[in-house]
Structure 1
């Protein structure tokens, strides 16, 4: 006789977490950040409100985690890290191709576009976005660029904030204005052009 299989609380808890993150993204896409509430997220995810507050202190925290989970590395104690094979060109192409694929994916694109609309209109939300989402991801990118500087692959005096803008701003503009295709070839071309400016 096999006996009754006990449910695994860790797995159930992870399922709830993923359902909450998915619900938060869907609701931001559908009604906009301002109209989303913790109650609505809980109802959509099929959990109690207290379950959300056990893991997140506010609506903003849930929403930002839900976007980070879509993006590079996802949330976690280890933070965001970029590949470091020792070859900055190969590593940047890997990251930029992944970013381009992400922005071309409707499941990612719709909620991010909705969040961007809200950020444009709400300076407080924009500040939260920089602190919780964009800031940590940018720091990880700069850490990889610093490692390339130490290896002599990038100019030692290169302005790394500007370097990130050189890489990412054309991609964001193309995505925002829907002005051209987001392809792996486009990602590679951005890296090639940026490295021309940044190499020693």
Structure 2
């Protein structure tokens, strides 16, 4: 009698996890974060609620992991900002790429949901910052430090504060939808941040 191989629990778990990620992202995009529920995610993924609660304690936790996984699947792990020797051009290029990502339909709805939820959910907010934002902001810090070494940035400037001059206005305009966002806008942010407002 031929014995059947035992079911691969690891493969089954990974398949379920992937289905849950896909379901969470799809639902947030279709019905919005407030109407997305664990029950809805489970039904969409074809798993039981208990499967989700075995791995996550809330829909926010599910969405955060799904969003991080989405970035990994798309090959958007943190990378070094190119150093061509022209700091302004390098920063403009990475901010233009950021604009494209912010308005990518795959990313926009979950990113907005997690950002908003992180304001009222302290634990989620900390994880969102630690796992997603800080690694990306550190790239700007390293590029600005290289700019200091090359004499393009004053040596007394704190790069961690300086990066907020162009990153924070972009984030605020995106979150509040107060005005259009364009490449021209982000290019101008870089020019203002690097050259200041005083007459030259």
- The alignment's TM-score, normalised by the length of structure 2, stands at 0.69
The Cα of 1:105 is off from its aligned counterpart by 3.1
Contact 2:165 2:193 in 1 (8 A): yes
Question: What residue is the counterpart of 1:32 in the other structure?
Answer: 33
CA contact (8 A) 2:16 2:47 kept: yes
Structure-2 separation of matches of 1:168 and 1:21: 28
TM-score normalized by the length of structure 1: 0.69
* Aligned-partner Cα distance in 1 for 2:176–2:81: 27
Q: Is the Cα–Cα contact under 8 Å of residues 28 and 115 in structure 1 kept in the other structure?
A: no
The residue number in structure 1 matching 2:76 is 74
Asked if residue 182 in structure 1 is aligned to residue 188 in structure 2, the reply is no
Structure 1 residue runs without a partner (length 5+): 1-13
Paired position in structure 1 for 2:125: 126
More RCO (CA 8 Å, sep 6+): 1
The answer to whether the Cα contact below 8 Å between 1:167 and 1:191 also exists between their aligned partners in 2 is yes
List alignment gaps of at least 5 residues for structure 2.
1-13
- Equivalent in the alignment of 2:5: none
- How many Å separate the matches in 2 of 1:144 and 1:22? 34
> Does the CA contact (< 8 Å) of 1:21 and 1:62 recur in 2?
yes
Compared with structure 1, are the counterparts of its residues 107 and 143 closer, same or farther at alpha carbon in structure 2 (3 Å cutoff)?
Answer: same
> Contact 2:96–2:183 at 8 Å: present in 1 too?
yes
Q: Structure 2: how far apart are the matches of 1:130 and 1:147?
A: 24
User: Compared with structure 1, are the counterparts of its residues 45 and 105 closer, same or farther at alpha carbon in structure 2 (3 Å cutoff)?
Assistant: same
Q: What aligned pairs does 1:26-175 form with structure 2 within 5 A after superposition?
A: 26-29=26-29, 30=31, 32=33, 37=38, 44=44, 58=56, 63-68=63-68, 69-70=70-71, 74-75=76-77, 79-175=78-174
SS in 1 for 2:163: helix
Structure with larger Rg: 2
2-structure distance, mates of 1:191, 1:168: 9
Paired residues of 2:25 and 2:110 also in contact (CA < 8 A): yes
Matched pairs, number:
179
* Alpha-carbon offset, residue 173 of structure 1: 1.6
Deviations 1:44-81 (A, max 9, x none): 457899xx9xxxx7577764454344499523xxx432
Contact preservation (8 Å) 1:100, 1:183:
yes
RMSD: 3.5
CA distance in structure 2 between the partners assigned to 1:15 and 1:97 by the alignment: 35
